Amino acid sequence: MLIVMQTHASGDDIAEVCRRIESLGLKAHPMPGATRTAIGITGNIDAIDARSFEALSGVRELVRVTKPYKLASREMHADDTVVPVAGTRIGPGTFTVIAGPCSVENESMAMEIAEFLRERGVRLFRGGVFKPRTSPYAFQGLEDEGLRILERVRERTGVGIVTEVMEPDQVERVEQASDILQIGTRNMQNFPLLKRVGKAQRPVLLKRGMSATLEEWLMAAEYVLAGGNKQVILCERGIRTFADHTRNTLDLSVIPPAKQFSHLPILVDPSHGTGKRAYVHPMALAGLAAGADGLIVEIHPKPETAMSDGAQTLTLEQFDVLLTDLRRLAEALGRTVV
Amino acid sequence: MLIVMQTHASGDDIAEVCRRIESLGLKAHPMPGATRTAIGITGNIDAIDARSFEALSGVRELVRVTKPYKLASREMHADDTVVPVAGTRIGPGTFTVIAGPCSVENESMAMEIAEFLRERGVRLFRGGVFKPRTSPYAFQGLEDEGLRILERVRERTGVGIVTEVMEPDQVERVEQASDILQIGTRNMQNFPLLKRVGKAQRPVLLKRGMSATLEEWLMAAEYVLAGGNKQVILCERGIRTFADHTRNTLDLSVIPPAKQFSHLPILVDPSHGTGKRAYVHPMALAGLAAGADGLIVEIHPKPETAMSDGAQTLTLEQFDVLLTDLRRLAEALGRTVV
Amino acid sequence: MLIVMQTHASGDDIAEVCRRIESLGLKAHPMPGATRTAIGITGNIDAIDARSFEALSGVRELVRVTKPYKLASREMHADDTVVPVAGTRIGPGTFTVIAGPCSVENESMAMEIAEFLRERGVRLFRGGVFKPRTSPYAFQGLEDEGLRILERVRERTGVGIVTEVMEPDQVERVEQASDILQIGTRNMQNFPLLKRVGKAQRPVLLKRGMSATLEEWLMAAEYVLAGGNKQVILCERGIRTFADHTRNTLDLSVIPPAKQFSHLPILVDPSHGTGKRAYVHPMALAGLAAGADGLIVEIHPKPETAMSDGAQTLTLEQFDVLLTDLRRLAEALGRTVV
Amino acid sequence: MLIVMQTHASGDDIAEVCRRIESLGLKAHPMPGATRTAIGITGNIDAIDARSFEALSGVRELVRVTKPYKLASREMHADDTVVPVAGTRIGPGTFTVIAGPCSVENESMAMEIAEFLRERGVRLFRGGVFKPRTSPYAFQGLEDEGLRILERVRERTGVGIVTEVMEPDQVERVEQASDILQIGTRNMQNFPLLKRVGKAQRPVLLKRGMSATLEEWLMAAEYVLAGGNKQVILCERGIRTFADHTRNTLDLSVIPPAKQFSHLPILVDPSHGTGKRAYVHPMALAGLAAGADGLIVEIHPKPETAMSDGAQTLTLEQFDVLLTDLRRLAEALGRTVV
């Protein structure tokens, strides 16, 4: 933390800021410069509400220096986290493919897709049963009936299940029916939900909030980690910008800094990230090349009849082509698609 | 809804799109142009997932025309909604001031601020007891103990209470202790929570999501209205942009279109909107001039010791000056500060 | 400037960074903390490309502290700049109104509007003759013929002329025909143009770039000031964000920090800022309440026939109502509309 | 173009809108719906300022349908444009690498880098001599002296030269010394400059504006194409968003739609796109995987001493590693690095 004083701050102003720093059990390092003084602070700054320094006389600006996340930080945990799930491992070295419909619509379509995935060696099936929808009048998912379908899909085909959980009360039921609990973009800062999945027995797939900075995202992961659940998987799914050629702006350039500052694995979601079927394939390949640890993608036997997100959903044939290209690319990069 | 065909779309492509439109019980209006055909759709388009048309052959683009909100729309409800609460009325004509600390820290400070407000004729006290904090290590609010303090504050001073509710399970308890339920920016699309407060007996203050469009915001209001609770108050609190001179970008220009497209009252929060105490006063005045129906502002007897948000909190003296200026300005605009 | 070292940076890394700082004639202030060391730098940091420190071993991050603008800074120039022009003064105390058509279309309409303004005591007429248009096929302005019209308008009615200049070669001609040179949003970082108007004899109205930070904007002003032209007027005209209810997002909250960090006057342009006629009136009032020193607004006798920007242009009758409201509001704020 | 009427628009309002459409030589297609009427327009809408319809009574909203670019559009020019330059061809099939220093600092460093590139088969050298700098006090480039250095570099090594041009008056001189004229992000809508390079004899590398939509970018290309210069190369270099982990947000997801809607080749600039050396390598690979036709990257023998942009510049060794990885990846994708 650094406090930058105004040019005309008095000696008394500076002394008062230093006194206040020391009174909080921290250490003040005044640095007089040509035009102004800056005051460095060392110590456990996270314990206090540092923005309140801005209210003191003669203070121009406050510059935060340390990152507030700890358990999510690579500095505290140098080795990459690898999440074992459904007979595979999500983390560096592999490139994990998760695929399935936006919504589970009925048992036969879920079963058909899961069988299709199993035949191709894809081990994780995604499918929503609790659906966060912008409109209260839109299809909200099959809910508990959907959970029972997911259980039967897992039992029959052996695929692992990834599905979204939307509120603390659902966690226990969803844990039963799934292998990975997904937290959606709109819930990235739903703190009661984060605390609850921090107590869960399943890995958590934490989608980035639509307008979350990397730091806020890692702080959301910190909530889960601080609860005791160490199996957090990040997932970039597009951010909100002025750009209108895609539904969201898929921020692949968050992958290298996420890897640099955190040890958590990170996936990419080109379906929501672009919102257009035609762009899913190239952006999936780009995600692999940028260093993502895997992919979550929407597929459907007949996207034009899908109950949600049909416009961004691949057909099974298109998914097959994508899988082939991913495997070729992964090989060139010394990695393995699983 | 309008479907724009590609320049080279065939007659068969066009016929197939029309067939599909009609098969959904809608009406197709093909419009051949010089370079391409567009196809208008009329009927109850909201019932279907229209984006799936993008998947049909020869379709270039889909242009949505009607707004999906109904109960929140001024077209369905021409008269302004006015929310009666705590002996005052939130809506056009008045300019309602809601003030108080970011967090309720203890009973004596809450009581001191509430007394101060009562003496000045301010009828609504804000104060958080369940606090959504970016860091799991930050102060999370007094929780149920805080609710009891709020009840005693209301009982002793007669002020109305505005406080945040973060999850469905808290709603019943918070309803007891408060007069307005606040939904924070991070929960604007927490749909289970919106559904729950749609069944509540208290007005709902719905803050705009950090990156929500006006349409998404009104759709969030629609969730509450569709649940049966007609008393929704919008609150602009700053959006996320590239600009870094304020903590968020207070989007006052959302007020006139919100008024145009919806009948709901709208407040402005210059404390979170700017994040800096020195900018709260001018932006509060600007909110009034832009047509807001009121203000929610953070005040504290000693902001530099506040447990949260001290940097954006006015002192009681600064609030007094603001109140005087608001009253003078309101008079010039033919309105009354309450 | 502050250099934040990695947690695991070695003593040698730290020493090397300090050596490099000192070798540039600057002073290093190492601050060892609990988990990492930060190194403050004092001295004339602006003379070097400081980002290169990021390339040194053990460096985690570089935090810039001082603002790079000098002549535009209030710390270097405590008193407000007031720009005398066309018999009025742009700066604190007054609220200057500039009005006129988007494009000068012909002499009679320009004359009609200028007469209208003169009768109401408005002293500055805006009108474009060199038009930056997104499409090469759109009307590009009357160019030199338009300049001659502006000269005759000024001669006949006595209004001061505000018009845009788009390239260095136009400056001399435009100076002849105008009282204020406008730099449009797309040219805020057209550095050759900024250098050229820095040598001009007219005040410069510098519109904020569509995605410019306050710092970049003040650095653009710095180019003009450094050229010797001290008469720079800032103008907020809306920034680009995800929000789609207005054409741009009018960032009124830039006004208080612009006033805090700089001595330059600042105007607001609610026509481009909102892009919709119905929102111009409330946002103009809000600009005044937020502390702007004036307003630039598009008006036209028959907006629906305007050759550009008709949708955001007020009729003369609407402008009259606005002027009345501005005067009433200004009075309540202790200011005078000129 | 579609005009959406208000729910309560009268028959007269609708008739008046239709009359006005027809009076402009266009055709009106009214579509009465359940709650409102929409009116389609066909004909040459680009010739008029369509936003003025918004000013008519009963009109709620205007929805533009056709894209305004023509020469840049794939619908008008189905085949990919391929730009032959310096013995290579920029366009599909190949992946063109352009590399060099941010600024040409002196002849020996320019020569060293050019030799290095030639030895590796890289045919295009980038290096700025007219530098757009945010600060007027920063190094502004070697200017004409730099052009002479570039000429000697080309003569001695045979590499093609890519360099930025900042104003119309420089174009003739820069054409002499270079093979590709670069238009920087800040000049994407410098229309006089675009018009001038539309008359130039060299291909134009058109960087995307920091906050430009795809449509605005293609309209800027349209200015060049309309001037007669058919050799335009697009270049994505990062957009401005709220995200702060990179200097800009590299929008790789613009590549597939740019390819879909336009026939122009598109490159990617991971140096400016990320602003951090460590992220350049993965984002360069991702650009190739996303379908870009090439890359422009900053390299320097000693980045930590570079006069500009050192923090985002690769060392020659790092570039060698990147080139190897690009070649391996390109092969897997059936493409060739040139």
Interface ipTM: 0.92
CB C157 within 8 A of CB C151: no
Q: Is C84 on the interface with B (CB under 8 A)?
A: no
Question: Choosing among D208, D215, D234, D245, which should be mutated to test the A contact, i.e. which has the most A CBs within 10 A?
Answer: D245
CB-CB under 8 Å, D309 with C49: yes
- What percent of chain C is predicted at pLDDT more than 90? 77
CB contact under 8 A, C311 and D52: yes
The CATH homologous superfamily for domain B83-337 is: Aldolase class I (3.20.20.70)
pLDDT in tens, D291-310: 999 999 999 999 888 888 88
Q: Which residue blocks in D246-315 are alpha helix, DSSP H?
A: 255-261, 270-274, 277-290
Chain C CB contacts of A40 under 8 Å are: 2, 29, 31, 38, 40
Residue D259 φ then ψ, to 5°:
-65, -35
D182: β partners = D164, D205
The residue ranges of every structural domain in chain D are 2-63, 83-337
Q: What pLDDT sits at residue B328?
A: 97
Report the distance separating Cα A21 and Cα A74, nearest Å.
29
**Nearest residue on chain C to B331, alpha-carbon basis:** C332
Question: Distance between alpha carbon B205 and the CA centroid of its chain, in Å?
Answer: 6
Polymer length in residues for chain D: 338
D192 to chain C, any CB pair closer than 8 A? The answer is yes
Q: Is D29 in contact with B29 (Cβ distance < 8 A)?
A: yes
| Contact check, Cβ <8 Å, D226/C52 | no
Tell me how far apart the 2 most distant CA atoms of chain B are, in Å. 76
Interface with A, mutate which of B19, B24, B54 (most A CBs under 10 A):
B54
Tell me if A184 sits within 8 A of A128, measured CB to CB: no
**Per-residue model confidence (pLDDT) at position D47:** 64
Rounded Cα distance between A299 and A102, Å, is 8
pLDDT, tens only, A86-133: 999 999 989 999 999 999 999 999 999 999 999 999 999 999 999 999
**A13 in Cβ contact with A7 (< 8 Å):** no
Q: Per the structure block, which two tokens stand in for D195? A: 């018009």
Chain C residues with beta carbon closer than 8 angstroms to that of B250: 252-253
Nearest CA in chain B to C277: B256
Q: What percent of chain A has pLDDT over 90?
A: 77
pLDDT at A34 over 80: no
Say whether residue A189 is in contact with chain D using an 8 A CB cutoff. no
* Mean model confidence pLDDT for chain B: 93
Residues whose CB falls within 8 Å of the CB of residue C189, separated by 6 or more in sequence, listed in order: C209, C212, C216, C220, D132, D134, D186
Helix A107-119 crosses helix A143-157 at what angle (to 10 degrees)?
30
What does the pLDDT read at residue C6?
A: 85
Phi–psi pair at C304, nearest 5 degrees: -70, -10
Confidence of residue B47 (pLDDT cuts 50, 70, 90): low
Give the H/E segment covering residue D100. strand D94-100
Between C57 and D204, name the one with better pLDDT: D204
DSSP-derived pairing of the beta strands B232-236 and B266-268: parallel
Averaged pLDDT score across all residues of chain D: 93
At residue D29, the pLDDT reads: 86
B8 touches chain D (CB under 8 A): yes
Say whether D241 and A249 touch across the interface (CB within 8 A).
yes
Q: What is the pLDDT of residue A47?
A: 64
Contact B278 C260 (CB under 8 A): yes
What does the angle CA D51 – CA D56 – CA D58 come to, to the nearest 5 degrees?
Answer: 120
Q: Measured between CB atoms, does D56 come within 8 Å of chain C?
A: yes
Q: In this structure, is the dihedral angle defined by the CA atoms of residues B219, B220, B225 and B230, taken in order, positive or negative?
A: negative
Residue C251 sits at the chain B interface (C-beta within 8 Å): yes
B4–D65 CB contact, under 8 Å: yes
The rounded distance, in Å, linking the Cα atoms of A7 and A22 is 23
Q: Which residues share a beta bridge with A279?
A: none
Inform me whether the C-beta atom of residue B1 falls under 8 Å from chain A C-beta atoms. no
pLDDT band with cut points at 50, 70 and 90 for residue A50: confident
Kindly report, residue by residue over B190-218, the tens digit of the pLDDT.
999 999 999 999 999 999 999 999 999 99
Q: Do B241 and C244 touch (CB under 8 A)?
A: no
Residue B135 to residues A94, A187, A194, A219, A258: CA-CA distances in angstroms? 31, 15, 12, 6, 18
- Where do we find the tokens 């959606």? A184
Q: Which amino acid is at C114?
A: A
Structure tokens at D189: 């809508």
Q: Does position D278 have pLDDT exceeding 80, yes or no?
A: yes
Please check the confidence at residue D170 and state whether its pLDDT lies above 70. yes
Closest in C31, C34, C241 to A40, CB measured = C31
Torsion of CA D295, D296, D301, D302, to 10 degrees: -110
Percent pLDDT > 70 in chain A is: 98
pLDDT the model gives residue A300: 96
Going by C-beta distance under 8 Å and a sequence separation of 6 or more, which residues neighbour residue B192? A166, A167, B168
Q: What is the pLDDT of residues D36-81, one digit of tens each?
A: 888 888 877 766 677 778 778 888 877 776 778 999 999 889 999 9
pLDDT above 70 as % of chain C = 98
Examine the pLDDT at A35 and tell me if it is beyond 70.
yes
CATH code of B2-63, in short, is 3.30.70.1140
Mean pLDDT of A37-43: 84
| Residues C253, B249: C-beta atoms closer than 8 Å | yes
Rounded average pLDDT over B66-81: 89
What CA–CA distance (Å, rounded) separates A249 from A10?
Answer: 47
C-alpha D312/C-alpha D319 separation (Å) is: 12
pTM for the full predicted model:
0.93
Top residue of C1, C71, C135, C174 to mutate, by most chain D CBs within 10 Å, is C135
Asked whether B329 and C289 are in contact (CB, 8 A), the reply is yes
> Stretch C45-49: mean pLDDT, rounded?
68
Which residue in D6, D63, D189 has the most chain C C-beta atoms within 10 A of its own C-beta, making it the best mutation to test that interface? D189
By C-alpha distance, the chain C residue nearest A261 is C60
Contact flag A211-B216 (C-beta cutoff 8 Å): no
Confidence of residue B93 (pLDDT cuts 50, 70, 90): confident
Q: For residues A86 and A66, what is the distance between their CA atoms, to the nearest angstrom? A: 37
What's the helix, strand, coil split of chain B in %, to 5? 40, 20, 40
In 3D space, the residue among C125, C118, C105, C98 whose CA is nearest the CA of residue C337 turns out to be C98
Three-state secondary structure string covering chain A: CEEEECCCCCHHHHHHHHHHHHHCCCEEEEEECCCCEEEEEECCHHHCCHHHHHHCCCEEEEECCCCCCCCCECCCCCCCCCEEECCEEECCCEEEEEEECCECCCHHHHHHHHHHHHHCCCCEEECECCCCCCCCCCCCCCHHHHHHHHHHHHHHHCCEEEEECCCHHHHHHHHHHCCEEEECHHHCCCHHHHHHHCCCCCCEEEECCCCCCHHHHHHHHHHHHHCCCCCEEEEECCECCCCCCCCCECCHHHHHHHHHHECCCEEECHHHHHCCHHHHHHHHHHHHHHCCCEEEEEECCCHHHCCCCHHHCECHHHHHHHHHHHHHHHHHCCCEEC
Sign for the pseudo-dihedral over CA of C57, C60, C66, C71: positive
Q: How far apart are CA A69 and CA A2, in angstroms?
A: 18
Mean pLDDT of A244-254: 97
pLDDT, tens only, C162-218:
999 999 999 999 999 999 999 999 999 999 999 999 999 999 999 999 999 999 999
The shortest CB-CB distance from D256 to any of A252, A282, A331 is to A282
Amino acid at residue number B329: L
The stretch D109-136 carries a mean pLDDT of 96
Q: What is the pLDDT of residue B283?
A: 98
* Residue appearing with tokens 């070669």: C169
Q: List, in order, residues 6 or more apart from D313 with CB less than 8 Å away.
A: D101, D102, D271, D277, D298, D299, D300, D303, D306
Give the pLDDT of residue B268: 98
Q: Which of B248, B241, B310 is nearest to B274 (CA)?
A: B248
B325 to chain C, closest Cα gap in Å:
8
- Three-state SS letters, chain C: CEEEECCCCCHHHHHHHHHHHHHCCCEEEEEECCCCEEEEEECCHHHCCHHHHHHCCCEEEEECCCCCCCCCECCCCCCCCCEEECCEEECCCEEEEEEECCECCCHHHHHHHHHHHHHCCCCEEECECCCCCCCCCCCCCCCHHHHHHHHHHHHHHCCEEEEECCCHHHHHHHHHHCCEEEECHHHCCCHHHHHHHCCCCCCEEEECCCCCCHHHHHHHHHHHHHCCCCCEEEEECCECCCCCCCCCECCHHHHHHHHHHECCCEEECHHHHHCCHHHHHHHHHHHHHHCCCEEEEEECCCHHHCCCCHHHCECHHHHHHHHHHHHHHHHHCCCEEC
Nearest to D306 among C52, C138, C190 (CB): C52
Distance of CA C240 to the CA centre of its chain: 15
Neighbours of chain C (3+ CB pairs under 8 A): A, B, D
pLDDT tens-digit map of D234-268? 999 999 999 999 999 999 999 999 999 999 999 99
Where on the phi/psi map is residue A309: left (φ > 0), alpha (ψ -120 to 50), or beta? left
Residue with token string 């109205």: C205
Tell me the average pLDDT across B307-333.
Answer: 94
pLDDT at B45 over 90: no
- Average pLDDT of chain C, as a whole number: 93
Establish how many alpha carbons lie within 13 A of residue A135's alpha carbon, considering only the half-sphere containing its beta carbon: 15
Q: Above 90 in pLDDT, residue A174? A: yes
Nearest 5°: the CA angle C133, C138, C144 is 75
Contact flag B51-A310 (C-beta cutoff 8 Å): yes
Burial of C23 (0-12, 13-18, 19+ CB in 10 A): exposed
Return d(Cα A77, Cα A73) in angstroms, integer. Answer: 6
Using a CB-CB distance cutoff of 8 angstroms, which residues of chain D are in contact with residue C46? 135, 137
More confident residue, A19 or A53: A19
Question: Residue C21 pLDDT more than 80?
Answer: yes
Calculate how close chain C gets to D227, using CA atoms only, in Å: 9
Q: What's the pLDDT score for residue A46?
A: 67
Partner residue opposite D304 with nearest CB, options C56, C68, C304 = C56
The per-residue b/e assignment along D43-65, b for 16 or more CB within 10 angstroms, e otherwise, is: bebeebbbbbbbbbebbbebeeb
